[in-house]
A and B are shown apart, each in its own frame.
Chain A
Amino acid sequence: MKSILKPLLMIVAMALGTTAAATLPAWALVELNVNKGNVEPLPIAITDFQGGDALGAEISGIVSADLKRSGLFAPIDKSAFIEKISNPDATPRFEDWKVINAQALVTGSVSKEADGRVRAQYRLWDTFAGQQMSGEQFFANDANTRRVAHIIADAIYERLTGEKGYFDTRVVFIDESGAKNARKKRLAIMDQDGANVRYLSNGKSIVLTPRFSPNRQEITYMSYESGQPKVYLLQIETGQRELVGDFPGMTFAPRFSPDGQKVIMSLLRDDGNSNIFAMDLRSRSTTRLTNSAAIDTSPSYSPDGSKVVFTSDRGGRAQIYVMGADGSGQTRISFGDGVYSTPVWSPRGDLIAFTKQTAGEFQIGVMRIDGSGERILSTGFQQEGPTWAPNGRVLMFFRDSAGGPKLVSVDLTGRNEQSIPTANFASDPAWSPLLE
């Protein structure tokens, strides 16, 4: 049993002065519009960061991979570069970059400080305007270069799109191994690109549906370890676990409230039906939100905490309903042809993602919070369980094919689907928030 409890990284950011005395309007080179037709990804040249030998190329490689996977950027092959950057702080020869159609250029450097910290800096250039767009440097107290690279990729994404990035984030999920009728399921956590996997449970009990707390320090999940399936809390840093509530029957489908003070979940009634409860983690008081002779499950709060979206089969088959956070005004919002489940409220508040079963297939889609404007982003034989990237632009879910589930992401246009590499089968992804 390893127990790595020390902080891995301390990051300090500061702005780098621009070398060109430029004044830039706050415009973005990339427009995010999910309703537009094909968005051409922006050609961008990401040069190897100077210094640090292999480290420099590693950082630029991670930045490049992040931006490429977003679908909004087309990193240009390095072999096409004309100018060889030797001083990442000097104004580049913009003509050399315009001629290979690089609309943006990233230069940077990385070095080890005397005190052992790693210093990484980048500059982002608008080649056609001939100006620096942004520049920052970061100090990390450990050689966690992947994280520094993700933060740089987020900064570039934000500067070029005008929206927050999502690369410096993590995903909790269920690692699955073994035969299908005897699957070992373990809690696991990794970076959003599949790197740095760590296991948080030993696989002796079935564990399902982990979800992050808003501060990223805790997860809530369901486990069979006591015999009856129950909802637990786990402190990621300390490994401390705690049963949520003392209920006679199964508790499942947990999620945190946006303020992190409550866990909302389903509780099995003696009659075999499931209702939704919210438990205040400080006072331990529980509030029943639904009371139907039906399956009510998969609750998810709106980002302001005022509403809850959930699945219910009270109308016959599973559909999506919205209610006030106190259980008031329960209203069905899904009316399409099929069965709807796993609704998840977007962190931007504007959309609800869901799984829909229709015509023998499983679809991942989004609708507005009143149920209008349904759009299907992905269709497959067996796939489910969307989770939102913190900027509300990308969904991750799991798809069963070739013998087991794997993780897949898709953006809101539905055109940019990416598989997330995992060593084993993987299911139930839940994306972490961004740290502010």
Chain B
Amino acid sequence: MGRIAALTRNPVMMALVASLAIAGCASKKTPNSAADLGLSGAGAATPGSAQDFTVNIGDRIFFDTDSSSIRADAQTTLSRQAQWLNQYGQYAIVIEGHADERGTREYNLALGARRAAATRDFLVARGVSGQRLKTISYGKERPVAVCDDISCWSQNRRAVTTLSGAGS
């Protein structure tokens, strides 16, 4: 037998790249707050402004764990949103769906997408034109609350209605 484990290895060409030109597609600077939109900081929001929407209408709704059902409290918020959006037709709308961290990454991307779609469908049913509405899921990648307990997770299970491409 005389087995000497001689592993025959093919010559290996190995090449790794240090840093690649992942073209840094410098994301367009998008306004992400009322102030960025050129609105007055504090004080009364101008009716019809993004600040008005965020402060007086409420730009977000929350979900139960692993659910994309629109809760009763969320229905109230979304009905207000629909009325406002129908009144101020100049805004394009992106609905962001988010999940808490108590799920795996890929599943939560899908869950966030389902929440965004459920929110969109509710607004459409309340008369907002589907042409104005886009959705995006951030899964659990964009938490707003960052502690490790239930109060945080419930704030992160959300759908945020953003105007003119504004981030949440």
Contact yes or no, B105 A208, CB < 8 A: yes
Look across to chain A and name the residue whose beta carbon is closest to the beta carbon of B28: A227
Bound Cα distance from A8 to B15, whole angstroms: 6
Contact yes or no, B109 A201, CB < 8 A: no
A89 at the interface (CB under 8 A from B): no
Which residues of B from 71 to 88 have beta carbons under 8 Å from A? none
B42 at the interface (CB under 8 A from A): no
Contact yes or no, A250 B113, CB < 8 A: yes
Given A9-B12, A26-B1, A136-B6, verify A181-B146 contact (CB < 8 Å).
Answer: yes
24 A–B pairs (Cβ distance < 8 Å), ordered by A? A3-B20, A7-B15, A8-B15, A11-B9, A13-B7, A16-B4, A18-B2, A133-B4, A147-B14, A170-B16, A180-B146, A181-B142, A196-B16, A204-B25, A204-B27, A206-B141, A226-B25, A250-B136, A271-B117, A272-B115, A273-B110, A295-B111, A341-B107, A342-B106
B158 at the interface (CB under 8 A from A): no
B60 at the interface (CB under 8 A from A): no
Q: A200-B22, A206-B141 are in contact. List 17 more A-B contacts (CB 8 A).
A: A1-B19, A3-B19, A8-B15, A11-B11, A13-B9, A23-B2, A134-B5, A208-B141, A229-B137, A237-B16, A237-B17, A250-B109, A250-B136, A250-B137, A252-B106, A252-B110, A272-B121
A120-159 Cβ-contact flags toward B at 8 Å (1 or 0): 0000000000001111100000001001000100010011
Look across to chain B and name the residue whose beta carbon is closest to the beta carbon of A24: B3
Contact residues on B (Cβ < 8 Å of other chain), bracket: 35 or more
Contact yes or no, B107 A158, CB < 8 A: no
Interface residues of B (CB under 8 A from A): 1-27, 66, 68, 101-107, 109-111, 113-118, 121, 135-139, 141-146, 148
Bound Cα distance from A15 to B5, whole angstroms: 8
Query: Which of B6, B15, B68, B113 interacts with A237 by CB under 8 Å?
Result: B15
- With a cutoff of 8 Å between Cβ atoms, the chain B residues found around residue A14 in the complex are 6
- With a cutoff of 8 Å between Cβ atoms, the chain B residues found around residue A436 in the complex are 10
- With a cutoff of 8 Å between Cβ atoms, the chain A residues found around residue B12 in the complex are 9-11, 435
Bound Cα distance from A381 to B153, whole angstroms: 14
**Most chain A beta carbons < 10 A, residue from B4, B6, B23, B145:** B4
Given A201-B20, A250-B109, verify A151-B101 contact (CB < 8 Å).
Answer: no
Contact yes or no, B5 A155, CB < 8 A: yes
Interface residues of A (CB under 8 A from B): 1-18, 22-26, 132-136, 144, 147, 151, 155, 158-159, 170, 179-181, 183, 185, 187, 189, 196, 198-202, 204-206, 208-209, 222, 225-229, 234, 236-239, 241, 249-250, 252-253, 266, 268, 270-274, 295, 297-298, 311, 313, 317-318, 339, 341-342, 355, 357, 381-382, 384-385, 400, 427-428, 435-436
Given A136-B6, A297-B107, verify A24-B19 contact (CB < 8 Å).
Answer: no
Bound Cα distance from A198 to B118, whole angstroms: 40
**Most chain A beta carbons < 10 A, residue from B5, B6, B139:** B5
Bound Cα distance from A271 to B68, whole angstroms: 12
Look across to chain B and name the residue whose beta carbon is closest to the beta carbon of A191: B16
Contact yes or no, A272 B21, CB < 8 A: no
CB distance from B149 to the nearest CB of A (A): 11
